[in-house]
Amino acid sequence: MRKLNYLLMLFLMTVYTCIFAQPVNNECSGAIELTSSLGRGIDNVITTGPYNNTSATTEKSDPTIGFECFAEPDGSGAKPSLENTLWFTFTGDGDKYFIEATSDSCSFTNEGLTYNDTQIAIYTGSCEALVPFDCKEDGPNSKWSVESYPAGVEIMTEIGVQYYVMVDGFDFVGTLSKGKFCMNFTQMVSITCNHPDVSAGTVSVEPAILCQPDSIVLISQQGAFGPNKRNTSGSMWVVSKTDLAGDTDPKSAAGFLGAFPVSPISDKPRGMNFAQNKLEPGDYYFTLYTFTNASIDNMGHVIFDPECTFVSNSAKMEYYSEDDCP
């Protein structure tokens, strides 16, 4: 009996250990090194794993900031939370990457994450002093139709900087996304601001004369090719009362009215509603900006770097009241 008890106990202990053993990368200090996933050629998806967060936990060493984009408790993001964090790390090489935590491309069946619903927060600094860098709940490969919500984030890395990637599961009112997933790194094209083809293209507006009660114009561009080699890249439509061609500081222009970011830049026209935006009759100009190396001030405004900002022509349109319609 004694011996049997002993064996039983050993068996129970083994089971206990198997169930509760936490993954090596449960904490930042054990982050799995993924630098070898970098520099493997444009558009090549480098997959590592699978990793399994079923027995992962959150603990004291986890950060308290930097995951504000997480959507707990119910998709609203009112109370972002950490449940089963796993950690990865890599050293930047100055190129741009798409990083995704997903069970889609992994070679296993029926063990993938519930709803494939990962969350990613990226940090710099050190495990003891993590500095928030980027955060993503649902990436571009999320699909409502199949209830799959993997986090995926594009980042421009800096040479020699060590990044820490925290992957957590989405906890939908108590239903936690857990299971196996892979880490995918895809090197992206990076375009410097000296690239010969960088341009904000040529823009046009249709119709060029608009009379109330009509209120919708279509703005479009041809040939825009934006730089992205540095952080804070993008493209932006600016609406103004003056011609902004050549002006790399549109927000300081007297005629500046407003701006809206566009991503990605599309050749397809996009609509703008003058009535909805409460714009008075008068002359208006539409200008496209493509930029990189911009900075963000503490009001959240984008400040362009004139050396890395490209300006289209300003397309003019005339807006008339019904009575003044030419």
Q: In the chain, where does DSSP find H-type helix?
A: 2-20
Question: Which of the stretches 89-97, 117-125, 191-199, 293-301 binds Ca ion when contact is defined by CB under 5 A?
Answer: 117-125
Site string for Ca ion, 170-189 (x = CB under 5 A): xx------------------
Residues in a beta bridge with 286: 239, 315
**Least CB distance to Ca ion at residue 259 (A):** 29
Q: With binding defined as CB under 5 A, does residue 26 bind Ca ion?
A: yes
- Tell the burial category of 161 from Cβ atoms under 10 Å away from its Cβ (0-12, 13-18, 19+): middle
- Tell the burial category of 19 from Cβ atoms under 10 Å away from its Cβ (0-12, 13-18, 19+): exposed
- Expressed in angstroms, the distance from the first to the final Cα of the chain is 104
Beta strand extents in 225-326 (DSSP E only)? 234-240, 256-262, 270-273, 282-291, 295-296, 302-303, 309-320
Member of 122, 137, 224, 238 binding Ca ion (CB under 5 A): 137
Going by their DSSP bridges, the two strands 32-33 and 86-91 should be labelled as parallel
CA 193 to chain centre: 21
DSSP letter assigned to residue 67: -
Smaller CB separation from Ca ion, 38 or 71: 71
Q: With binding defined as CB under 5 A, does residue 51 bind Ca ion?
A: no
By C-alpha distance, which of 177, 164, 183 is closest to 49?
A: 183
- Residue 307 has which token pair? 């050396």
Member of 90, 112, 133, 138 binding Ca ion (CB under 5 A): 138
Question: Which of the stretches 26-34, 155-163, 225-233, 313-321 binds Ca ion when contact is defined by CB under 5 A?
Answer: 26-34
Question: Which of the stretches 113-121, 195-203, 289-297, 311-319 binds Ca ion when contact is defined by CB under 5 A?
Answer: 113-121
Q: Name which of residues 64 to 83 contact Ca ion (CB under 5 A).
A: 83
**Least CB distance to Ca ion at residue 171 (A):** 5
37: three-class secondary structure by DSSP: helix
Member of 115, 149, 164, 274 binding Ca ion (CB under 5 A): 149
Question: Which of the stretches 95-103, 165-173, 229-237, 256-264 binds Ca ion when contact is defined by CB under 5 A?
Answer: 165-173
**Least CB distance to Ca ion at residue 49 (A):** 16
Q: With binding defined as CB under 5 A, does residue 116 bind Ca ion?
A: no
Member of 100, 134, 168, 247 binding Ca ion (CB under 5 A): 168
Residues that bind Ca ion (CB under 5 A): 26, 56, 83, 85, 117, 137-138, 149, 151, 168, 170-171
